[in-house]
Structure 1
Amino acid sequence: MGSRHFRCFFWFSLVTCHFYSVFVSAGNRIPKGVSVVDGGGTIISAGERFELGFFSPNGSRFRYVGIWHYGISVQPVVWVANRDKPLSGNDGVLAMGDDGNLQIKSGDGEIVWSSNVTSSSPNSTAVLLDTGNLAIFPSPNSKKMLWQSFYNPTDTYLPDMEVHMEAAGKELQIFHSWKTAIDPSPGNYSLGLDPRGSPQIVIWEGKNRRWRSGHWNGISFIGVTDVRTIYLSGFRLTNQGNGKLFFTYTPSGDSSFVKFQIDWEGVERQETWSNGEWRVVQAHPVDDCDRYNRCGPFGVCDRTDGMRCRCMEGFAINDGEQWCKRRARLQCGVVEGVGNDGFGEVEGVKLPDFVDYVGLESAQECERRCLHNCSCTGYAFVSGINCMIWTGDLVDVERFVEGGNTLFVRLAASELGETKRAYRAVIITAAVVGSFLLFIAGWLFLQRRRKRGVVSETNEVPKVGPSRECSIDYSGPSDLGVEGQQGNGTELALYSFNSLVAATDNFSDDNKLGQGGFGHVYKGILPDGQEIAVKRLSRKSGQGLQEFKNEVMLIAKLQHRNLVRLLGCCIQGEENILLYEYMPNKSLDSYLFDPDKKPQLDWSKRFSIITGIARGLLYLHRDSRLRIIHRDLKVSNILLDEDMNPKISDFGMARIFGGNQNEANTNIVVGTYGYMAPEYAMEGLFSLKSDVYSFGVLLLEIITGQRNASYRSTDFSNMVAYAWDLWDKGRAIELLDSSIRASSLQEQVLRCIHVGMLCVQDVAANRPNMPAVLLMLEGENVALPLPRQPTFTSMRYNLDEDMWNVNQDAASSNNVTITAILGR
């Protein structure tokens, strides 16, 4: 072959090889022998969601290999391979090396970056997945990953990325910002997790904290209140056992891109692609109160007062310095002639950092544990976390305009005494002024009656009981409307405040039955000997007035043997009080979770309680004059009468639905974590199926005799996860409370567990409605569908084509068969 022909053949071969390289790189993988050449092409994930190739940041002359979102006009880079060692020319090559590693080489053959897989394979293949994850597999058909970019991130957290940690491990600074807007090398800010106590997201500046999210309660991070239902939708914490955990995030839909990024200025942003632009959903830190520990130990950054720093109760600024010091020394225990330490409340705050103890104790047990520990400086009780105790300085506390939790700060007895003396002075002053005003009002009233000639010559002592006198302060039916509706008034007896003071012995602590979210409940006795439960709305609760109106409006119209009966009310001045029938056996949790009392609830009683609750819910959802969603169904809201019959109580959170209304949305999520349906907790979307989910959790608690939250210290995230594990292994009967196994009917127990698993399905449409639930519980000949495996996430999934689509309202026969679906 002549030299001319040889040269033509050489150039033809070179062009052909280059063309082959570019052509193959248009797929989603880089197998051995194929390369991506700078300026010659990119690889694109199979679903065309992400793209990998060479790029230069705007304004930079250096070249990097990165990953970005495909097919959108604004393409921020979400991962960079050679961020520490950029290329200075456009002759870089990305290819699988002979050692089975993915490598970036410069034009002179220098390896500037490698995946550094230790267990590589000569047939290794790199694949760009639709999640944005670049993964290396030992062979083209293998599913085992040898390496992945998700485990080697830069500054961006993407959906489905797993962030692993150990429950008692160290802080994890995982994501590192760019150095500048045009320099991807690691900057001064990092984003990660602190797993101690209860996990929280943290931003660091160097080694110092810059911002934190607050603790994880199983649904959300409690230090982020402004955009909770958007920002935290889709986070999930999975317990792998042996103290190993990992977080993932899955958005509620896949129609748009979502990313979390720590930018080069130290601000973490969540952004979503919408209508041709990246929309910022949330960003932190953004103002003075958002910055870590701005007000120092025992200080509070108060958003309700122009973001000013204030000291907690019992503390004062130390000699003009910007930090707070305790005014009175703690006694720690009983000191003769001095008294005990106690607690002051700091309400509506982001709880302090560095919690020292997290446990499953009740609120009362948590207070006692803190009080008996001389090092304890404060405690809190948070739904989903339970008892939290601090032993050091209380730092990074922020008071929110809305939301937040209550922190109980340990104070010396003298501080508490001062507060009580001041409160007593206010009470005495108010009583004197009030008495004077009552005297004047009474005198004027008598003068007016004398003029009308209707004053009796004898003065009768007013009766303690129902009175129309309270109607003077009653603003009328139109003021008790729910959701803008106006009722026709209540048919309740109106009691005077003085009559209830007498009935409850001035609301004495000895008569206190319990404490709810908006006030206390007391036992009372009317003059005729009738025992009553008196719910007194807390004056501090601005939100509680609406809940009070809800209960008056709703319960007055409801009559069912499994609903607590409302006897009357008092609306006088600032006092808003409800009177209920008295339940001698108190609430279900007082039996169910007490080791000494729970054996009294044998299986027969528990099944009767389960079906009774189901009938009460069925009445609310379908058979009452109103269509009502309870929204706060939980074990403490189930009261037991003298015969242990269950009665649903506390309708402060309830909502009325119109005849054709199936679901609604709210910006304020209320209720109790652990009982909330996923779509309600994270999106504010509630329906009749929200109550069904709560009933499912309640049913499982009745069967097990354990709280839902009690499983957080095990290898499972909650009771639902534990129940599914046993169900899937064919060992569901092990869920039954060991104290009553001898009295149980195994077939009936298993049916109840089966119904419970159907009720706690992630997707609302997969759950049965209450008519179907009751039919399945009581109908021995009803075939039950198989439940889907719950994903235990805090988000709402899109519906599948094979979704349960049976009209369950039509179920009325004992021989109804509901189509079964295979679990997945």
Structure 2
Amino acid sequence: MWSSLFSYSCTANSLSQGQLVRDGETLVSRSGNFELGFFRTENSSLRYVGIWYRKISFKTYVWVANRDSPVSDESGVLTISSDGNLMVLDGDHRLVWSSGINSTSVPTNSTAVLTDAGNLVLLAKADADTASADGHVSNAYWQSFEHPTDTFLPGMRVRVNSAAGENHAFRSWRSLNDPSPGNYSMGVDPQLPPQIVIWGQSGREWRSGHWNGLLFTGMPNMTENIRYGFRLSAPEEDGSMYFTYTPLNRSDLLMFRILWNGMGEELGWDETNNESTVLQKQPAKECDLYNKCGDFAICNDMGSPKCSCMEGFIPKSPDQWKRGNWSMGCTWKTRLQCGNNSSISVGNGGRMDHFLKLVGVKLPDFADYFSATSGDECEVKCLENCSCKAYAFVRSIGCMMWNKNLIDVQHFAEGGMTLQIRLANSEPGTKSKISNLRMIVTAFVGAFVSGITVFLLWRFKDNLKGEISVCGVNDLLSEEQYLDLSRPDGLASDAKQVGGPRIPVFDFSSIEAATNVFSEENKLGLGGFGPVYKGKLLGGQEIAVKRLSRKSSQGVEEFKNEVMVIARLQHRNLVRLLGFCIQGEDKMLVYEYMPNRSLDYFIFDPAKRAQLNWKKRLEIIEGIARGILYLHRDSRLRIIHRDLKVSNILLDEEMNPKISDFGMARIFGGNENEASTNRVVGTYGYMSPEYAMEGLFSFKSDVYSFGVLLLEIISGEKNIGFRTPEHSNLISHVSLASLE
């Protein structure tokens, strides 16, 4: 029977009624990214219909149709039934799998199309050519994106609806070679604010932290990986919202999946080596495991032991805790005195519950949410509720309160949120020996003064709360605090089409506090941009702050250019921009701190130069070369630095080089190789002759500067400062010496 029907070539992307795909034949999306057909796993003869990435040598399956009922041999086919449904049949014509749509809802002339997004859609034949390549297809009768297996692909929608409950959207394979449904699932906890969760047989295994409109707050590394393009749609009529993600660079082939062993994996595409690469896995560390330390405890991967009770709490079972069994968690040292919070109780000394601030943490699970405009409002709400055990005010979320025990709290080395934990005032009240009248008056006056003081302190605290208390910048990630670099006026016309990241904005007061009000003791040096200061955020992260001088030869355009260029770049040999600050005429760039300063600090100092042996110098040269290659060829944008010099090569704690100062950089379009300018910028001695004399610059300009760098690193001499009776600079000396 099968031989009498139409047989597909490997270039087809659609399947119509009366046609079929046999075992060994495939559908291929128009872009060539995805392929559909029969497959078997290693050491198994069972056959499944699935979709996989076609360009990845090691087959990476993203969807399986008949994962519950495989075909036992190679006799199976995929076709469309007379009622318009997709179906898989075995060699005896028995139904193995079907799309299962009510026949009255599907036209009899339906067609299946494999889109460029990897979505297998079933729709009317007349609509086959309109199937979207972006993801969800609105006019489809059925689509694989609405029936996923273990993989979350770009453009796929994951439903968030509190009335519908937890959405276990993705189910793992049973084992590495068995696609049948396994023991783990990944999906969304719809309780606002929503979060991604991995479930196992016994419950939650991992969670992402709450969504704040731009990222998941329990994943600090997302500040560096904003390229994901996660979005949560506006509510629809039934209250449903949808999580989607669209990578800034679609060729990255990003995907998220839940593995058979319960690990969540992010897979990307390495264009340099033309192969897939694992970008991250979750849970990655011991403290990522759900509620590792029990109630009212904090897990810290850098700590020893990893688990500790929150301040004001003690282990529930001290013996078990000492043995390293932390599952029972902790409990209060002193129970909350909720009855004293709404009125003055003279007999109890008027002791109110107070709050302990925890900075740089993953917020606890199971938060209640309500709208609030300030931390003060949130704190008052918590005090009025005897069940409230903690609160957090997050600008882009509002007020989060916890009426249940605080569980799954983790301390981060960088980033994280601020949690206010409610504690009883452990100071006992003292009995007065004066008259009752005097006691009442004293209590009243004391309460009045305390009230005024607390009010002023709250106001003062609210002004400082947030930015300065953040170890990274996660608390700053509200929509209004970001510079959208994809605006039309944000970049040169060549780069307007590239989706831009969003850059954290630091509050001026937090920069002042971090740098000790820009003290001379914190000053690292002075460059063309202005002074550079060392700073330390409240959470402990060290930063370098470049402050634009009003007398600077560089100006606002260079400031804007540096923010826009370096924010789009990620490479181990480029300095990392943490954010920026604009306060009136003050403009500052905030970078990661490089403890070993710049390369010129070592290479031109006869004593310090000895610390750089030939092996280390070679490693530095290779690192600079990798950074330049990334700028010129491997980044999403082709960039010419235009100011490469030893003072712009920074060294981290392990003496790894990082290229800095992108104020002069230029972005080139795909077909551009050369440009000219009437304003020559950069540093003489490092400029190529055609750039210095005629204003012509290209990628070769950076290569020339790199050559000067290379000579200076090897010789320890400055190009311009080097003089002999025959030569006025290092280049001419080396050029002549090479000919002799």
How does the TM-score come out when normalised to structure 2? 0.59
Structure-1 separation of matches of 2:517 and 2:245: 34
Rg larger in structure: 1
Q: Any conservation in 2 of the 1:269–1:283 contact (CA below 8 Å)?
A: yes
- 1:755-803 CA-to-partner distances (Å, cap 9, x unmatched) read xxxxxxxx99xxxxxxxxxxxxxxxxxxxxxxxxxxxxxxxxx9999xx
1:324 counterpart letter in structure 2:
C
User: What's the secondary structure of 2:8's corresponding residue?
Assistant: helix
Residue 417 and residue 537 in structure 1: after superposition, are their counterparts in 2 closer, same or farther (change >3 A)?
farther
Q: Any conservation in 2 of the 1:626–1:657 contact (CA below 8 Å)?
A: no
Q: Any conservation in 2 of the 1:73–1:276 contact (CA below 8 Å)?
A: no
Structure-2 separation of matches of 1:519 and 1:22: 62
Of residues 355, 362, 366 in structure 1, which corresponds to 2:367? Answer: 355
Shift of 1:207: 5.1
2:565 counterpart letter in structure 1:
E
Structure-1 separation of matches of 2:395 and 2:520: 23
- 1:678-706 CA-to-partner distances (Å, cap 9, x unmatched) read xx99x99xxxxxxxxxxxxxxxxxxxxxx
Higher relative contact order (CA 8 A, sep 6+): 1
1:210 counterpart letter in structure 2:
E
User: What's the secondary structure of 2:379's corresponding residue?
Assistant: helix
1:359 counterpart letter in structure 2:
S
Of residues 116, 122, 136 in structure 2, which corresponds to 1:130? Answer: 116
Shift of 1:510: 10
Of residues 308, 320, 327 in structure 1, which corresponds to 2:333? Answer: 327
Counting only pairs closer than 5 Å after superposition, residues 71-470 of structure 1 correspond to structure 2 as 71-118=55-102, 119-141=105-127, 143=130, 144-167=139-162, 169-206=164-201, 208-230=203-225, 233-242=228-237, 243-274=239-270, 275-306=273-304, 308-320=306-318, 321=320, 322=326, 323-332=329-338, 333=341, 334=343, 335-336=345-346, 337-338=348-349, 339-414=351-426
Q: What's the C-alpha RMSD, in Å, of the aligned pairs?
A: 4.5
Residue 415 and residue 308 in structure 1: after superposition, are their counterparts in 2 closer, same or farther (change >3 A)?
farther
Shift of 1:359: 2.0
Structure-2 separation of matches of 1:287 and 1:510: 37
Counting only pairs closer than 5 Å after superposition, residues 467-482 of structure 1 correspond to structure 2 as none
Q: Which residue of 2 aligns with 1:592?
A: none
Q: Which residue of 1 aligns with 2:578?
A: 669
1:149 counterpart letter in structure 2:
S
Structure-2 separation of matches of 1:223 and 1:123: 48
Structure-1 separation of matches of 2:91 and 2:555: 71
User: What's the secondary structure of 1:85's corresponding residue?
Assistant: coil
Shift of 1:26: 3.5
Query: Is residue 625 from structure 1 mapped to residue 625 from structure 2 by the alignment?
Result: no
User: What's the secondary structure of 1:109's corresponding residue?
Assistant: coil
Structure-2 separation of matches of 1:511 and 1:121: 65
User: What's the secondary structure of 1:413's corresponding residue?
Assistant: coil
Shift of 1:75: 1.4
Q: Taking every aligned residue pair, what percent have the same amino acid on both sides?
A: 40
Residue 417 and residue 109 in structure 1: after superposition, are their counterparts in 2 closer, same or farther (change >3 A)?
farther
Structure-1 separation of matches of 2:428 and 2:158: 45
Q: Which residue of 2 aligns with 1:749?
A: none
Q: Which residue of 1 aligns with 2:481?
A: none
Q: Any conservation in 2 of the 1:231–1:282 contact (CA below 8 Å)?
A: no
Q: Any conservation in 1 of the 2:175–2:260 contact (CA below 8 Å)?
A: yes
Query: Is residue 47 from structure 1 mapped to residue 43 from structure 2 by the alignment?
Result: no
- 1:437-480 CA-to-partner distances (Å, cap 9, x unmatched) read xxxxxxxxxxxxxxxxxxxxxxxxxxxxxxxxxxxxxxxxxxxx
1:518 counterpart letter in structure 2:
I
Counting only pairs closer than 5 Å after superposition, residues 543-558 of structure 1 correspond to structure 2 as 544-545=514-515, 548=518
Q: Any conservation in 2 of the 1:197–1:358 contact (CA below 8 Å)?
A: no
Structure-2 separation of matches of 1:30 and 1:133: 14
Structure-1 separation of matches of 2:174 and 2:559: 54
Residue 130 and residue 547 in structure 1: after superposition, are their counterparts in 2 closer, same or farther (change >3 A)?
farther
Counting only pairs closer than 5 Å after superposition, residues 9-28 of structure 1 correspond to structure 2 as 17=4, 20-23=6-9, 26-28=11-13
Shift of 1:279: 1.2
Q: Any conservation in 2 of the 1:222–1:404 contact (CA below 8 Å)?
A: yes
Structure-2 separation of matches of 1:56 and 1:92: 12
Of residues 511, 515, 523 in structure 1, which corresponds to 2:464? Answer: 515
Residue 389 and residue 661 in structure 1: after superposition, are their counterparts in 2 closer, same or farther (change >3 A)?
closer
Structure-2 separation of matches of 1:149 and 1:129: 11
1:669 counterpart letter in structure 2:
L
Structure-2 separation of matches of 1:624 and 1:114: 72
Structure-1 separation of matches of 2:468 and 2:369: 28
Which blocks of at least 5 consecutive residues in structure 2 are unaligned? 131-138, 321-325, 431-452, 471-506, 528-532, 539-546, 568-574, 582-588, 593-635, 638-667, 672-676, 680-740
Shift of 1:553: 7.8
Q: Which residue of 2 aligns with 1:6?
A: none
Q: Any conservation in 2 of the 1:315–1:324 contact (CA below 8 Å)?
A: yes
2:193 counterpart letter in structure 1:
S
Shift of 1:390: 0.7
- 1:544-581 CA-to-partner distances (Å, cap 9, x unmatched) read 13884599989x99xxxxxxxxxxx9x9xx9xxxxxxx
Counting only pairs closer than 5 Å after superposition, residues 790-809 of structure 1 correspond to structure 2 as none
- 1:630-664 CA-to-partner distances (Å, cap 9, x unmatched) read xxxxxxxxxxxxxxxxxxxxxxxxx9749999632
2:16 counterpart letter in structure 1:
P
Structure-2 separation of matches of 1:659 and 1:37: 56
Residue 660 and residue 268 in structure 1: after superposition, are their counterparts in 2 closer, same or farther (change >3 A)?
closer
Shift of 1:365: 0.7
Q: Any conservation in 2 of the 1:44–1:128 contact (CA below 8 Å)?
A: yes
Shift of 1:278: 2.0
Q: Which residue of 2 aligns with 1:64?
A: 48
Structure-2 separation of matches of 1:352 and 1:286: 19
Structure-2 separation of matches of 1:375 and 1:175: 35
Structure-1 separation of matches of 2:148 and 2:334: 50
Shift of 1:357: 2.1
Structure-2 separation of matches of 1:113 and 1:282: 34
1:217 counterpart letter in structure 2:
N
Q: Any conservation in 1 of the 2:391–2:420 contact (CA below 8 Å)?
A: yes
Residue 324 and residue 379 in structure 1: after superposition, are their counterparts in 2 closer, same or farther (change >3 A)?
same
Shift of 1:192: 0.2
How does the TM-score come out when normalised to structure 1? 0.53
Structure-1 separation of matches of 2:427 and 2:577: 36
User: What's the secondary structure of 2:43's corresponding residue?
Assistant: coil
2:80 counterpart letter in structure 1:
M
Shift of 1:622: 12
Structure-2 separation of matches of 1:313 and 1:152: 46
Q: Any conservation in 1 of the 2:418–2:469 contact (CA below 8 Å)?
A: no
Which blocks of at least 5 consecutive residues in structure 1 are unaligned? 1-12, 419-504, 521-534, 558-568, 575-619, 630-654, 673-679, 685-762, 765-797, 802-806, 810-824
- 1:396-438 CA-to-partner distances (Å, cap 9, x unmatched) read 00011111111111000116999xxxxxxxxxxxxxxxxxxxx
User: What's the secondary structure of 1:663's corresponding residue?
Assistant: helix
- 1:23-63 CA-to-partner distances (Å, cap 9, x unmatched) read 3x631000011100112x11101111100000001111100
